[in-house]
């Protein structure tokens, strides 16, 4: 696989902020990822390019990795609330958003999560497509939630991610996703 996911580190904050600003240019105040990394409840990951696919651990320890996407959630009791997910425009539609979402669900499961929730702009059909593929469905609407343009937010949640039915669906999706790079 030409891309890899790992926990976000302080040295990634510059590139992550660049991706955030490209993806969410109207967000004010801008996200502060240094502060997020210092928050106990927060779990952030990045996807980066792997120059030597199959090279194993060496690529994991390389410095100067090119970050192509990131995502994060806050773990509160058994709820993983996704705060953000973004992929560089130049790298979209290659399965990287999906790779990040799979990694977050796996991590949330390890942390004892059952529920995944998030808000998404009503106009953001790309993100909604990704979430729906992974079983996140609309719970309700928060009217005028986004302060920049008063757009509505759809609140999405899934069924229990630890349930056998969800696990089966997830395995199937992971398998289909992995086939993209074989």
Ligand X SMILES: CC(C)(COP(=O)(O)OP(=O)(O)OC[C@H]1O[C@@H](n2cnc3c(N)ncnc32)[C@H](O)[C@@H]1OP(=O)(O)O)[C@@H](O)C(=O)NCCC(=O)NCCS
Shortest Cβ 9–ligand X spacing (Å): 20
134 included as an active-site residue? no
Binding status of residue 83 toward ligand X by CB under 6 A: no
**CA terminus-to-terminus distance, the chain:** 8
Element containing residue 23 per DSSP (H, E)? helix 13-23
Q: Which residue in 39, 125, 147, 168 binds ligand X (CB under 6 A)?
A: 125
Considering only 49-57, 58-66, 90-98, 164-172, which stretch makes contact with ligand X by CB under 6 A? 90-98
Shortest Cβ 85–ligand X spacing (Å): 5
35, 13 contact by CB (below 8 A):
no
119 included as an active-site residue? yes
Distant-in-sequence, close-in-space partners of 101: CB < 8 Å, separation ≥ 6: 71, 85, 130, 131, 134
Binding status of residue 87 toward ligand X by CB under 6 A: yes
Shortest Cβ 58–ligand X spacing (Å): 25
Binding status of residue 80 toward ligand X by CB under 6 A: no
Cis upstream peptide for 53 (omega within 30°): no
Query: What is the rounded CA–CA span in Å between residue 71 and residue 46?
Result: 6
List the interface residues with ligand X, window 35-74 (CB under 6 A). none
Residues forming the active site: 119, 131
């Amino acid at each position: 696989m030409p891309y890899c996911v790992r926990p976000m580190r302080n040295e990634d904050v510059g590139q992550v902020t660049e991706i955030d600003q490209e993806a969410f240019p109207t967000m004010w105040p801008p996200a502060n990822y240094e502060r997020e990394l210092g928050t106990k409840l927060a779990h952030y990951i990045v996807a980066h390019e792997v120059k030597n696919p199959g090279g194993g651990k060496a690529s994991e320890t390389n410095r100067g990795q090119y970050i192509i996407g990131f995502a994060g959630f806050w773990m509160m009791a058994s709820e993983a609330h996704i705060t953000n997910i973004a992929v560089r425009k130049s790298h979209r539609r290659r399965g990287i958003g999906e790779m990040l979402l799979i990694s977050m669900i796996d991590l949330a499961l390890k942390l004892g999560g059952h529920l995944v929730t998030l808000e998404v702009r009503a106009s953001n059909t790309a993100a909604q497509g990704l979430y729906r593929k992974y079983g996140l469905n609309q719970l309700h609407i928060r009217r005028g939630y986004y302060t920049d343009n008063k757009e509505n937010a759809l609140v999405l949640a899934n069924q229990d991610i630890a349930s056998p039915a969800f696990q089966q669906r997830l395995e199937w999706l992971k398998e289909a996703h992995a086939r993209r790079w074989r």
